[in-house]
Structures are given as structure tokens and as C-alpha cells.
Structure 1
Amino acid sequence: MSPAPRSAVSDQLRELSALRCRVVAHPLGPGPAPGQVLRRAAGSDGLVCLLGSWAGGGAVLAAEPLLVLADGADPVAALGVQPRIESGAELAGVVGGGWFGWLSYDGPSRLAFYDHLLRYDGAAGWSFEALWSAERDALLQVRREELAELLEGPDAVRPWRAGQFSGPSLPDHLRAVERAVELVRAGELYQVNVCTRFGAPFAGSAQDLFADAAGALQPGFAAYVEAGDRAVASLSPELFLRRRGRGVVTSPIKGIWPRPDGDDVTSAQTLRSSAKDAAENVMIVDLMRNDLGRVCETGSVRAASLLDVEPHPGVWHLVSTVSGRLRDEVGDEELLRATFPPGSVTGAPKLRAIEAIGALESGPRGEYTGAIGFASPSWGLEFSVAIRTFQISGGRVELGVGGGVTADSVPMLEWSECLHKAAPLLGALGRSHAFPPGASATSAQLVGGVFETILVRDGVPLRLADHLARLDRSCHELYGFGVPADTSARVHAAMQKWDRLTVRVVVTPARRVNVMCTPAPAPRLASVGRIVRGRTGLWRHKWAVRNYLDAAEATATAAATEAGDAGDTVPLFVADDGTVLETSRGNVFLLGADGTLVTPPLRDDLLPGVTRRAILDLARDTGRGTELRPFTVEELAHTTAFWTSSLSGAVAIHAVDGTALPRRDDEIAALAALLLDPHRR
């Protein structure tokens, strides 16, 4: 559909601004629950329903708008155009009408102006509210009677059905998260929100889906907006903006932990003590303070609350609140231009994060992560962040989920966060996602603890900060505590006066930290690989118990000896789907003909190698191409390859199961030299 002419849009808004209204509220008494009234209103034009904490709590239901903003019009500019309320005709706390709809993150927005609505309060029941104008007097009287009859009408329930939800390629999402981490490490971002989508076939009544799901989950800011053959059913817990008079409030959510049945206290405490989640939240609080500071009176912007732990369907969240007082000349248009899209679903710095999102995600978000709500000339403005939101059109229902990525993010944990967020919403539809649960550690692995091996050259412990950061992440995830603050100092104290040495740091579940120093072996230059299949379990932690790996190395060496293979031998683990994972000593890379480096995206059965990350950072710094994607043994057999090691840098793979690989040893040796250079930062 082509955009409306600019003159037509101007005429729309000019006519609206010329209206003179008085605010009215007529009690209609008790009646059915809001969800049932929504069902009865099926077929009404431009149906909108807000449930939960909106406008002080209860429900708002609107239909038959006075006007729908034309395609191509600027929705944010429209929010600044309202009819004038006659002096002395105000009613405190009455919404009456206004602009209702959604502001898309990208793509078309939907706003319509309503001059009447139904309002529900749990104590007082239903009321008819309106922005009453002389021009609409007769019609509003008719609408008041029609809506009163709606409350007395018969119940109506229409069927709906959502099929099995499927999602994106898991490697695609893991790749996007890891690329986001790369941008943070490069200093381009502090945090960026990376999202993905689940989808399913859909048939039936979208508004009944919303009524059922909102009734089951009871979110703070449930919203249903219908626009022709498209509907948005949002079950958001997050307030984006609330303006009453000159006061404005935003309550960003950042930080999440699952709420297992019967264990609320422990899971809440875990979130409360999570430094990563707290850091994410504080970053977005600072961003929102900055956004509001652009339009608020100097000194009025403050964090009214910080890092509150709140229960929400299926999860705990960290919620903070920022408030301010708008300058006298600032209206709703200026407020939205300063703050939209919401900081909690973009990142910091916001503009660079938005640019990165466009490159990292596979498609547009549409209404998801935009904002849904209303702007009333009587009550004020209130918008939610459009998360936990079903987008329904064309026989499909889609659900976007995502999370904030920082330097400490673990791709598989970010994926698990997406599943945790999706689970209660899909459950409210009687559905689930099709993805298997994550891998688990064995009891022996957990008891043995985790460790790091750090190479020291010329008195410099290489990539010490990255090693200790990985160790700290593992300890937090597995045992609920971090690495002691003095660990770095203990490493330096243990170092001897040798040219090459290794420092081994082991942390046990009993919080014991052992730091040991030994001479480092000579770096490996080349090896041969023997394929090992059938490895299962959780391998993204560096386990101190290496029984399985030691046995695999012994088996691989015996097989190589029997086959007459010469050289150091390493087991090459291959997943059940035929993709190459890693060796027992480090991650695997392919070296393409054009110099591009290829390595699998991180997942539960891959160690997030420190040297692997260093190679990717080095490639970025030098302009070398990289790909994060799975590859098979067959592809490996026809490509130059190497594996990474903290002690050796990069080690060439000359053959796999007796099949010789193309050799470019000089290039790999040069890469290893850069990785092992103690003077390179």
C-alpha cells in the first residue's frame, strides 16, 4: 500500500487538533471480566485491549476509532497532536481516549485516535469514558448505549489453535551472540540485545488467544491491538514510559533467572548476587538516564530504585526505575524522539547497538521490541516495551525472544535465556519449543573442579585476564561463587624466573584455589588427528578431571601407532551430526584458500578457548575474514587445518585418520608466533 499524500496526513491531524472536548466518565456498574468483554467485542473495528497495570490498574478497551493514522505518516509526530480539553472540563484519572496502538521497532507502526472507551476498575466496575465533542455528540451517545449493551450481552468464545513452534538454526543464534561479544571486546559496544524468533501455524481468533494467555500469565502490561488482518498480542512485564503531567518514569528490565517450581527463594538470591546481570541493568539505567536527561529539567533525573528483584511468569527479573521532570517546552513527541526505541532492547551506546542489531539478526523485528500503549490528552502517556509479544498474521504466529550480550556472555547461556523467556508464553498456548535441554556435567566433573593453564613468557602471563574471566564464569555457573580477587596476584607471585613456564590454577567446589608453576614444554608444531565419535555431555568448562580426555588420547595414539601414522596424535571429536567439534587439547580452525579462518560456533560440547578468542580478535584487528559455522570431516579432509592451544598457539593438523591434509605450515607458524609473543597486546 502506498503512503498517503502528506497533505492528507496534515488534514487528519489539523482536524484532530481543532476539536474541543470535555472529559466525561459514566459509571456502568459491575460486569463480566475484561477478557470476556474483549471476546464479546469481536468484529469491532480497530479493537484495542489493555490489561494489568495500565492507567493505574484494571483494563481499557477501545474500538471504532475516530481516525486511523495514515500509512506513511510519522507516528511520533502524531503523538504530539491532541484535541484541546476545555478549561474546567478535566477529570483527574480519566483516560477518556487518545492515540492507541504500537510503535514498531522497524517497519510500519499503527496508531489510531479514539474519543471513547470502556474502562474497568476492580473495585468500581466498568465505566464509559470519552473526550466528548459537540461534533460527535450524537454518535457518542449511541456508542455509550452500545457498549453498555455489550456488558449485558451473551458470552462468546471462539476457537483458536497454534501449531508446534519451531525456531531458528541454533548455530545462527550462537554465531550472532559470539559476534556481539566480539564487538564488545573491540570496544564498539558495552552491551547489545540479540534476538531471535519462534513461529508456528495459527488459525482462529487472535483476541481469544490473547484473552486466554493474559488470563493465565497475568503480566503487568498485557496489550492487544488489532489492525485489519494483523494482530499483536503482547504479554509484556516492562514499562517503557509513563508520563503524568510533567513527571516521567521508565522501568527498564535487565537481568533474568529461571523460577523453578518450589525454589523461589534460592533462584531470587542467585539473581540478586549475579554481577553480570547487575552490570547489564546498570548500563541500561545509565542509558535511560541519559535519554531522559535530554528532555528533562537539569538535576531532576534520578534512579528512583535500582536492581529490584521481581517475580514474573516463569522467571525472576532485575528491575530499576528512573524518573525525571520534563522541561516546560517538551511534549510527547520530543519525549519519544529522545527515548525510542527502548534502551533495554537495543544496547549501549544505543545508536551503535541499533546498527549492530541490523547486521547480527536475520530479519526485521517489526512490532517486537517497539512500544505499545496510549497517549491521552487527559490522563497522560503510557507505553510498554513490546517484549513477550505474539505477532499474528497470514496464518502464522511468531514470538520474539532475546537478551543482552556483554563481554562475559556465554552463547549457550544466552540461548538458554531465550528458551526460559519463551517457555511460559508457549505454555500459556499449550505448546512448547522443539529444542532439547542443555547438556549436564557429571558428578565427577563437578567434584573435581575447573582449571586454567596459563603460559608465561619473559615474565608475562599471556592473556591472564581472559583465562581468569573464563574461570570466574565457570565457577559462578557451576558453584555459585567467583574466583577470589587475589588470584591474579597469586599467579604473579608463583611465577619463576624461567623463559617459558606454565601456571595452573585449579578451583574446587570447596572454594580451594591451587596455583602451581612448572616449566613449560616446547610448543607443538604439528600433529595428526584420529576421529573419536560419541562424546556427550557438557564440555564448555575446562574440567580438572580429564579421565575421559586422557583415555581418548591413549586410544587415538594406539590407533595411530597401529596405522603407522607419524607425529604427535590428538583425538578429534566429531558430533553425532557429523560436524567437527574440537581436539582434546584445543579448538579446531580451517584455513581457507583466501586466508579466511573458519571455526564452529560455541555450544555446550565445545570449550570457549581463550586462544580461539585471541585468534578471532587478531583476525578482526588485521582485517582477516572469519566464519563461525559448523563443518564436516569431509570438508576438513580437503582443507588446511590447525588446532589452538594456550601453550603452543596454533598447531598444524597434517592428517586425519591417515588422510593427508593440504599443508601451509609457514602461515600457521607465523600465526602461532603472533599468539605467543609476550610483547603483543
Structure 2
Amino acid sequence: MKPGPLDPAPSNVRFADLARDLVATEAHVFWLDAGPGATSGSSYLGAGRRVLSARDGVVRLDGTIVGEDVLTELQSLVAESPVGARNGDGAPAGFRGGWVGVLGYEYGARLVGVPSAPGDLPDALFVECDRLWSLDHGTGRIDAILGDHEIGAAPEMASPSPPPSPARVSDVRPRWRHDRSAYVRAIESGLDSIAAGDVYQVCLTNEVRVPTAIDPFEVYLRLRRDNPAPFGGFLRIGGVTMAGSSPERFLSVSPHGRVETRPIKGTRRRDPDPVVDRALADDLRSDAKERAENLMIVDLMRNDLGRVAELGSVDVPDLFAVESYPSVHQLVSTVTARLAPGSTGIDAVRSSFPAGSMTGAPKHRAMTILHGLEGGARGLYSGAMGWFGADGALDLAMVIRSIVFAAGEARIGTGGGITASSDPTREVDETLLKARLLLAALGAPDTLPDASD
């Protein structure tokens, strides 16, 4: 089957149906999903056979050691990847082939040069696309970009999907890394570091694990139904599966070197009463603590991008915008730049990963403090997920509002930025707010117990 637009009309070829069939038949599969209600942008679905993984400074390609740094290996591998038709068949610009996967937080610690906790998951996982489809949300057009496209026979023959099954309430008790009292103490320690002048902000996180044999793809379908987000996604690579509904872009780079990052700092819950809901959004927009926290990360990202950007090109076209999602309002800013001659998109990732919105500022000192407070590895949480294109472009989302499935467990990271004006009780409540829909998708309770519970 030749690459190109697929018939019948997109209304009769549901991308989710195709995704379900692909997940059922392929070992290494991805769905980078702009969401069921998206009216612009693209979603990508595909699979591959070649797997690149990294752990503790050892990079393997299909199990064979090939180097020490995953971005270095990606730089050369991406340039050799097969590429689908771009413009000749009228297909939209965007991802046409390359590698898809995730960078974990501990890989970022290695880049920054700070200690990291040992973990049981890879620091990075990527698959090379040999089958790839795109969905243009502006036109509803589905394109077959790479590969023989034989799933059943063709995407137009994908089996119709039933709606996601409701999550059954489980009697399994989630295991939190820090109970409520311990997490409050960690927040207070972070506040002490801020008061001492060691750091301006730290993004402290917690983790909850739920033993489960649930189908991760069903969980993802629930997430995209109940909490659609512009950077949702489902990945299964190398025995690790991730399902997420991220609202935050970490970094995008165009083929011509335009760079964009959209850090999120600041959260309010949604309310079913429209008047109350608007008041919550307005409160977020005007809250001095939230604005200061957001501005610190904007300045950090400007500095990170400035190391690889053309002189004078770093700009902040949008500061303190409120974006609303089904469960939360978020305070979002946009930083843009243009790559300097000789710099690549991978250089931009290297200079800015892990994202400042998940570390604090200054980055090196904040990450060092967090290593002493968090008591374990973050794993893939607070890393970056997305694609590296053969044309030098890339688009990566933050791994937040996400669930990682491995070793018979579902793992959820959640946290928030701590500044001098933070209230520990409010910060604990924010971590629960961010985890609530994820735990609900697993059928798990969303309470954070105390040591005596």
C-alpha cells in the first residue's frame, strides 16, 4: 500500500480504532495524541522494531551496547531514518519519520551533573518508526506515511472500538512514597533551603504505586475521554508502557530552527459552577505567588535556550496565560528562540533538559536539594516524551499527568513548585488534585494517608 491519504473519509476511519488494532499486534507502539476534541495540530500513530535504550550511562541499540549518551546516539540514528512523503502528496508538514520515545528524569540529572537515585527503569526508551500514520485535526485527514500499513489489511478496515470500559473500584491500597506528614516535612525542608538563600524554587514531587493487572490501553482511553489534553499519548517500548494526558509542551524545534517551550506553573481546580470556575481562573491569573513561580521558570528556560540560540532571538510572546482543562486551570507562558548557526534541535534538548518547570531554580542547586528530599528515583515522570524527526525537527511534551506501567504496577508521579510563600497544606492538596484523575482511571482511591492510617 503506497503512502498517501486513506479512504474512506476520516469520519469512517477512527484513529482510535486503528490505534487499538496496532496496540493489539505490535510489541513497540506509540500514539502521540492531540486529543479527541482537537481542531488543529496533528496526532501520530506508529510502530517499529529497532529499540534504543539507556540506563546508567550505557546506551543499547537492540540490546547491543553502542555508546554512553542517548542524545549523541539519537543525533546520528535519526539522520539515517526512513522518511515518508512530505509535500508531494499534499500531506501536512510535521513528523514524517524518525524516532519516538521518552527521556527520563535521571538522564537529565546526568546531563546537569547532579546525583540521582537508583531506579529500576531505563533512563530513556525510543523506537524507530517503520510504520507511521498522521491525523490532521484541522482537516480530519488521515495519512499513511511510512511502511506497509498492514494491520488486519488497511486502516480503513480497523475494527470498530467499543467505548472505554468504566474503571472498577479496586480494594488495592495505593502505596505512596511519602505519606502526608512526611511530604509536609519535605516541603518545610524545601522552604528552609529557600529561606537560607540556597535556591529560589524547588519542584518537589511524590510518587504513588498501585499493584494492578489492568490493561494500560483501556486506562489511556479513559484518560483521553475524561481528561483530554494537547499532548496525550500512549507508548509501549521495551516492556515499559506509559499512558498520559500532558498539557505541557517541553520543547519543539522546526526544521528551520524555530524553538518553542511552554512551561506551566500554577494550578487551580475546575468547578461545575461557571461563576465559581471563572473566579478560580481569575484568581490563578492574578495570584502573586503563582505568577512569581511561573516567571522564575520562564527566566530559567530563557537562560537554557540562550546557550544555543541566535543572539537576541529569545523572546517571551505570551506570559501568564490561563489554559483550562477538564480538571484544572493552568498558568502557562511561552518562550521562543531561533537556533544559532551550527546548533541543532538535539543541542537545544541537551541545554534545557530536564525542564525547569519540574526542577526549580537555579536548576543545578534545586536538583541537588531535590535529590536529598525526594527519597527515590522519578523514573520517566517529569521527563519528556515525543518525536525526533529525520529532518532535524522535534516535538517533546512533559511527562506529567501520566501513568507508567512496569513490573505489575502502575506508577504516578505528582508534585508542585515550592516558593517562599508556599503553604504546605495547600501544596499537598495540589499534588492530590493532579493525581486524582489518574488514580480514578485505575479505580484507585485518591487519598494521601498519614503515617497512622
TM-score computed with the length of structure 1 as normaliser: 0.56
Counterpart selection for 2:5 from 27, 30, 40? 27
Go from structure 1 to structure 2 and tell me whether the alpha carbon gap of 1:46 and 1:191 turns closer, same or farther (over 3 Å shift): same
SS in 1 for 2:292: helix
Would you say 1:232 and 2:226 are equivalent positions?
no
- Mapped partners of 1:433, 1:85: distance in 2: 43
Would you say 1:210 and 2:220 are equivalent positions?
yes
Q: 1:55–1:95: 8 Å Cα contact kept in structure 2?
A: no
Counterpart selection for 1:187 from 187, 197, 216? 197
- Mapped partners of 1:33, 1:264: distance in 2: 33
2:48 corresponds in structure 1 to 64
Q: Structure 1, unaligned stretches of length 5 or more?
A: 1-23, 131-139, 438-575, 579-681
1:125 corresponds in structure 2 to 141
Go from structure 1 to structure 2 and tell me whether the alpha carbon gap of 1:323 and 1:32 turns closer, same or farther (over 3 Å shift): same
SS in 2 for 1:368: coil
Would you say 1:250 and 2:261 are equivalent positions?
yes
For 2:240, the aligned partner's letter is: R
Q: What percentage of aligned pairs have identical amino acids?
A: 33
What RMSD over aligned residues (CA atoms) do the two structures have, in Å?
Answer: 2.8
Go from structure 1 to structure 2 and tell me whether the alpha carbon gap of 1:270 and 1:302 turns closer, same or farther (over 3 Å shift): same
Would you say 1:391 and 2:404 are equivalent positions?
yes
Counterpart selection for 1:410 from 403, 419, 423? 423
2:183 corresponds in structure 1 to 173
- Mapped partners of 2:319, 2:53: distance in 1: 40
Give a deviation string over 1:564-610, Cα, whole Å, max 9, x none. xxxxxxxxxxxx969xxxxxxxxxxxxxxxxxxxxxxxxxxxxxxxx
Look at both structures and tell me which one has the larger radius of gyration over its CA atoms: 1
- Pairwise mapping of residues 512-551 of structure 1 onto structure 2 (< 5 A)? none
1:379 shift after superposition: 7.5
1:120 shift after superposition: 1.5
Would you say 1:52 and 2:34 are equivalent positions?
yes
- Mapped partners of 2:261, 2:369: distance in 1: 24
- Mapped partners of 1:57, 1:386: distance in 2: 19
Q: 1:35–1:215: 8 Å Cα contact kept in structure 2?
A: no
- Pairwise mapping of residues 134-533 of structure 1 onto structure 2 (< 5 A)? 140=147, 143-146=148-151, 149-155=154-160, 163-167=172-176, 168-244=178-254, 245-262=256-273, 263-378=276-391, 380-435=393-448
- Mapped partners of 1:176, 1:323: distance in 2: 34
Go from structure 1 to structure 2 and tell me whether the alpha carbon gap of 1:347 and 1:148 turns closer, same or farther (over 3 Å shift): farther
Go from structure 1 to structure 2 and tell me whether the alpha carbon gap of 1:349 and 1:94 turns closer, same or farther (over 3 Å shift): closer
Go from structure 1 to structure 2 and tell me whether the alpha carbon gap of 1:70 and 1:233 turns closer, same or farther (over 3 Å shift): closer
Go from structure 1 to structure 2 and tell me whether the alpha carbon gap of 1:195 and 1:55 turns closer, same or farther (over 3 Å shift): farther
- Mapped partners of 1:269, 1:325: distance in 2: 33
1:57 shift after superposition: 2.2
- Mapped partners of 1:198, 1:436: distance in 2: 11
Q: 2:83–2:97: 8 Å Cα contact kept in structure 1?
A: no
1:227 shift after superposition: 2.0
- Mapped partners of 2:200, 2:253: distance in 1: 29
1:491 corresponds in structure 2 to none
For 1:48, the aligned partner's letter is: F
1:154 shift after superposition: 2.4
SS in 2 for 1:69: strand
Q: 2:51–2:237: 8 Å Cα contact kept in structure 1?
A: no
Worse-matched range after superposition: 309-318 or 277-286 = 309-318
1:148 shift after superposition: 5.5
- Mapped partners of 2:201, 2:438: distance in 1: 26
For 1:98, the aligned partner's letter is: G
1:348 shift after superposition: 0.3
Q: 1:374–1:382: 8 Å Cα contact kept in structure 2?
A: yes
SS in 1 for 2:25: coil
Q: Structure 2, unaligned stretches of length 5 or more?
A: 60-68, 107-121
- Mapped partners of 1:32, 1:89: distance in 2: 21
1:370 shift after superposition: 0.4
- Mapped partners of 2:437, 2:53: distance in 1: 36
Q: 2:179–2:449: 8 Å Cα contact kept in structure 1?
A: no
Q: Which has the higher contact order (CA 8 A, sep 6+)?
A: 2
SS in 2 for 1:353: helix
Give a deviation string over 1:286-334, Cα, whole Å, max 9, x none. 0000001000001000111000011123111110000000012011221
